[in-house]
Amino acid sequence: MKSSTSQLIPAAFAVLTFAAGCATATTENERPTSSAVAIPTAPAAPVVSDTSRRNANGTATASVAELDAPAAEATAATADPTAPSATEASAARAAEKKMTAADYKYQLARANVALRLNPKNSRALLERAKANSNLKNYKDASPDYAAALRYMRNNPDVYYNKGVNELMLKQYKAASNDFSGAVKYRPDDKEAFFGRGVAKMQMYQYKAAVSDFTRAINLDSLYADAIEYRGISYASYDRIKEARRDLEKAAKLNPEAEKSLRRYGKGNSLVRGGNK
């Protein structure tokens, strides 16, 4: 079975800081909007062992254990006590979604001033990285995220933001590891589980993605995007009953999910897209 995929960059930004692109068989206009990371639907792929997946080009991907391992920097046992709670982080992401390009440029300028005074200012490094991410300067953001992480190795916000930036750069294994770092220090962060699930979808680890979307749903039973993407993941390995159940529920919660229901809710033949 071949997949009909194309790389798409979403038009809208995510609640946290930015959108995350995925390989998809849809058009950009068909992309559902996420409450955490705005992402298009997942690629289709052959069903193979979850511990020995191969991508569309036949290249071996990482095992589930490797993807669930936190980033190497995540060594401390306790979270940064100054980090916000999952609820506070989610609210901050929602607020950042409403910011304008001018706001992000101001944020960038403010961080630059702080870093001229103290190049090791971890909060300013994170702020500059997020500002660049929101301005779609993803490569420019990467070194600042790495530097911030050197000073804040137990801060879940750094891992989460770094993970979403890596999704945009199509660095899916790194993204998965950083989302794993986020949930290590903030295990009730539904959006981090969602992000890790998306990274796994990109590497055709659909069963593993279902597990992460389920954990996100367990934290929020009305998390429409996680329900939708779990449904798409189910469809990708012919769990059609479960796929349709999730996609129907997602469509009730978010009308945009109706597109995924039409496309994936009738069986894996729809996932295979352009091969029919």
The answer for residues whose C-beta is within 8 angstroms of residue 112's C-beta and 6 or more apart is: 128
pLDDT at 5: 27
Burial letters 120-151, b for 16+ CB under 10 A, else e:
ebbebbbbbbbbbbbbbbbebbbebbebbbee
Angle between helices 122-134 and 101-117 (to 10 degrees): 150
pLDDT at 61: 61
Query: In what helix (H) or strand (E) does residue 217 lie, and over which residues does it extend?
Result: helix 206-219
Is the model more confident about 2 or about 72? 72
Which of 260, 269, 273 lies closest to 230, judged by CA? 260
pLDDT at 95: 93
Is the model more confident about 73 or about 82? 82
For 8-12, 122-126, 260-264, which range has the lowest pLDDT when averaged over its residues? 8-12
- Straight-line distance from the first to the last Cα atom of the chain, in angstroms, rounded to the nearest whole number: 11
C-beta atoms surrounding 93 within 10 Å: 21
What residues form DSSP beta bridges with 243? none
pLDDT in tens, 41-75: 344 433 333 433 455 444 446 788 888 778 778 77
CATH of domain 6-275: 1.25.40.10
The angle formed by the CA atoms of residues 162, 165 and 169, to the nearest 5 degrees, is 130
Judged against a pLDDT cut of 90, whether residue 152 lies above it is answered with: yes
Q: Does residue 271 come out as left (phi exceeding 0), alpha (psi in the -120 to 50 range) or beta?
A: alpha
pLDDT band with cut points at 50, 70 and 90 for residue 265: confident
pLDDT in tens, 16-32: 333 333 333 333 333 33
pLDDT at 267: 63
Mean pLDDT of the chain: 79
Structural domain boundaries in the chain = 6-275
Task: Evaluate whether 190 touches 162 at the Cβ level (below 8 Å).
Answer: no
Judged against a pLDDT cut of 50, whether residue 180 lies above it is answered with: yes
